Amino acid sequence: MFTPNKGDPSSSEEISDREWQIRTGRAIYILQKTLPDFFDIGLVSSVNPTKTPTLIGSRELDTPEVESIYSPKVRLTYTPPVALPSPFPRTLGLEGLPLYLASSVFIRHTMKTLYSDLRVELRKMTVHGSSSSSSENTTEATHSNHQREKSVLISLNVYGMARVSGGVGQWQIDSTYTFSPISGLIQTQTINSIHPAPHQATYDVLRASLSSMFGFGGPGSGDVRPGEVRAVDKICERGS
């Protein structure tokens, strides 16, 4: 698991219900519009609200006007249908925006190396939880007065043609994105299922790639240290 050494000061700041609804709605819009173009443009992680609907790539994330749709402590988790051998735990996960973005870059580049004519089809998108605010006129945050809950289930079909064999590959991926009740940013992406499931070698390559990219050591025994890549058995729920 990767834990950022520095937390975003704004991640714990309370925002109004109206702003919370705007942030979650904006993130859902970006996911809907950009995930089908993932292999062409990569993962779109931010937006410039002053130039809506202009979408911003991760390279421009440091621009003052740009707002990320992901929490700095965003978590990605996946439980393979069949338990992997040691040292892999039952549930795999990584934490932190740098690793989250790096993993998306690795997946995109690796898939484009192995397959041609890659495309993503948005099969289904379902929003669960709060759809409106009961206190839109409130200028201060009121999330302590009523529960803020929102998540979106996204089902994708991925298609590609293997460069070596010429065979057609097809995968069905279902993920649930959950929003922070405090910041309105995406705090977790839970991959519910991948069919067909990835081979163990895929996890080995991904772990080695991220470890090499960030200069971390391989997984071993002992406590998780800040900045370490580690598969985790459990991701503790906490506000972002």
Q: Where are the domains of the chain?
A: 9-131+149-214
pLDDT score of 44 = 93
pLDDT at res. 64: 56
Q: Which amino acid is at 54?
A: T
Q: Return the pLDDT at 86.
A: 80
| Secondary structure letter of residue 240 according to DSSP | -
pLDDT value, residue 213:
58
Averages of pLDDT over each 10 residues, the chain, 240 residues: 38 80 95 96 85 50 73 95 84 93 92 94 93 45 65 97 93 97 97 89 70 52 37 41
Q: Please tell me the predicted confidence (pLDDT) of residue 160.
A: 96
Instruction: Say how many CA atoms lie within 13 Å of 144 toward its Cβ.
Output: 4
pLDDT of residue 219: 44
Asked whether 70 and 57 are in contact (CB, 8 A), the reply is no
As a CATH number, domain 9-131+149-214 is 3.10.450.50
Beta strands in 87-234 (DSSP E): 92-95, 115-129, 150-162, 168-179, 186-195
**pLDDT tens digits for range 45-59:** 988 776 644 454 444
The single-letter DSSP state of residue 43 is -
Question: Which amino acid makes up residue 104?
Answer: S
- pLDDT in the model for residue 210: 62
Beta strands in the chain (DSSP E): 46-47, 55-56, 67-68, 70-78, 92-95, 115-129, 150-162, 168-179, 186-195
